[in-house]
């Protein structure tokens, strides 16, 4: 019995050590575009881990609904109505963040991004500018604005929500792909440039996730709209097969000597 008690106590001590290791209590975060999709999930995850989170979106009603829901769950989340494609609104957002989070920001999640799916020759100059501003310029500027607060926190972290489309070629959406490719490069440059300020920079590249951004594809194309998925899976399978072949060649040559 005593043994069982001590192993129970050990298990609970291990659980609380694990909990402490994954806790974000005392940390602050800004998640752009947190009312729907990936940003919404990120806000909930960070808040559930104990962080104080600020988020933003363009639709006041949706933002209010989310904030009420989060308050009901006991999460510490504040929010601003802001169109991130407008420079002055980004500056105003950062002032609100500084005030809501007492001038301390540990985490910046650059999540806002959108897409217009067309063939390259069909894009207008306005669409080019809209996608570049929303996906790339806004994230770049948010990093510049957040830098003093991230640096002051002594332990800063930037995460860009990029896309597989920034790594491999898909059938449409060349402007979106270019913005995500640029985000991937920006991630590497900032990781080097701002490491001295104790700011880590990473990006996450999701494949299709069922959110409002891609619901049109699911609604109108069903699984046919995802034929690119199979192209990527084929690519991954080829890479795996090449790696297996290399390992086998290496092992065969190793076996030859011994």
Ligand X SMILES: NC(=O)c1ccc[n+]([C@@H]2O[C@H](COP(=O)([O-])OP(=O)(O)OC[C@H]3O[C@@H](n4cnc5c(N)ncnc54)[C@H](OP(=O)(O)O)[C@@H]3O)[C@@H](O)[C@H]2O)c1
User: What is the contact surface with ligand X in residues (CB under 6 A)?
Assistant: 33-39, 56-59, 62, 82-85, 111-114, 134, 161, 163, 206, 208-209, 211-214
In the complex, what is the shortest distance from the CB of residue 222 to ligand X, in angstroms, rounded to a whole number? 15
In the complex, what is the shortest distance from the CB of residue 151 to ligand X, in angstroms, rounded to a whole number? 24
Q: Using CA atoms, how far apart are residues 194 and 189, in angstroms rounded to an integer?
A: 8
Give the CA distances from residue 64 to residues 59, 61, 98, in Å, rounded to whole numbers and listed in that order. 9, 5, 20
Backbone angles phi, psi at 39, to 5 degrees: -60, -40
Q: Using CA atoms, how far apart are residues 78 and 71, in angstroms rounded to an integer?
A: 9
In the complex, what is the shortest distance from the CB of residue 110 to ligand X, in angstroms, rounded to a whole number? 8
Pick the closer one to ligand X by CB: 16 or 202: 202
In the complex, what is the shortest distance from the CB of residue 138 to ligand X, in angstroms, rounded to a whole number? 7
Pick the closer one to ligand X by CB: 77 or 153: 77
Active site residue 140: no
For residue 204, what are the contacts with CB-CB under 8 A and spacing of at least 6?
159, 160, 161, 162
Q: Give per-residue burial for 103-118: e unless 16+ CB within 10 Å, then b.
A: ebbbbbbbbbbebebe
Pick the closer one to ligand X by CB: 113 or 156: 113
Q: Using CA atoms, how far apart are residues 52 and 24, in angstroms rounded to an integer?
A: 9
In the complex, what is the shortest distance from the CB of residue 256 to ligand X, in angstroms, rounded to a whole number? 45
Q: Say how many C-beta atoms besides its own lie within 10 A of residue 172's C-beta.
A: 15
Residue of 123, 128, 140, 176 marked active site: 176
Pick the closer one to ligand X by CB: 106 or 115: 115
Question: Of the candidates 170, 158, 238, which has an alpha carbon nearest to the alpha carbon of residue 207?
Answer: 170
Q: For residue 221, what are its two tokens? A: 């194309």
Pick the closer one to ligand X by CB: 57 or 187: 57
Cβ–Cβ < 8 Å for 199, 157: yes
Which active-site residues does the annotation give? 176
């Amino acid at each position: 019995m005593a043994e069982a008690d001590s192993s129970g106590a050990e298990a609970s001590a291990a659980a609380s050590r694990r909990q402490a290791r994954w806790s974000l209590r005392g940390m602050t975060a800004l998640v752009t575009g947190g009312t729907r999709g990936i940003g919404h999930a990120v806000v909930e995850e960070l808040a559930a881990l104990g962080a104080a989170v600020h988020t933003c979106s363009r639709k006041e009603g949706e933002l209010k609904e989310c904030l009420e829901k989060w308050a009901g769950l006991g999460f510490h989340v504040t929010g601003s109505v802001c169109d991130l494609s407008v420079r002055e609104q980004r500056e105003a957002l950062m002032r609100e963040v500084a005030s809501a989070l007492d001038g301390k920001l540990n985490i910046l999640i650059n999540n806002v991004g959108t897409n217009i799916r067309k063939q390259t020759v069909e894009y207008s100059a306005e669409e080019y500018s809209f996608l570049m501003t929303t996906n790339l310029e806004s994230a770049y500027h948010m990093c510049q604005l957040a830098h003093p607060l991230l640096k002051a926190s002594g332990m800063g972290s930037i995460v860009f929500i990029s896309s597989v489309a920034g790594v491999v070629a898909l059938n449409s959406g060349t402007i979106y792909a270019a913005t995500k490719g640029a985000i991937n490069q920006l991630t590497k440059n900032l990781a080097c440039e701002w490491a001295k300020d104790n700011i880590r920079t990473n990006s996450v590249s999701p494949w299709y996730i069922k959110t409002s951004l891609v619901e049109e594809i699911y609604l109108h194309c069903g699984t046919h709209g995802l034929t690119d998925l199979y192209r990527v899976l084929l690519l991954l399978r080829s890479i795996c097969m090449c790696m297996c072949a290399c390992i086998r060649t290496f092992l065969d040559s190793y076996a030859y000597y011994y």
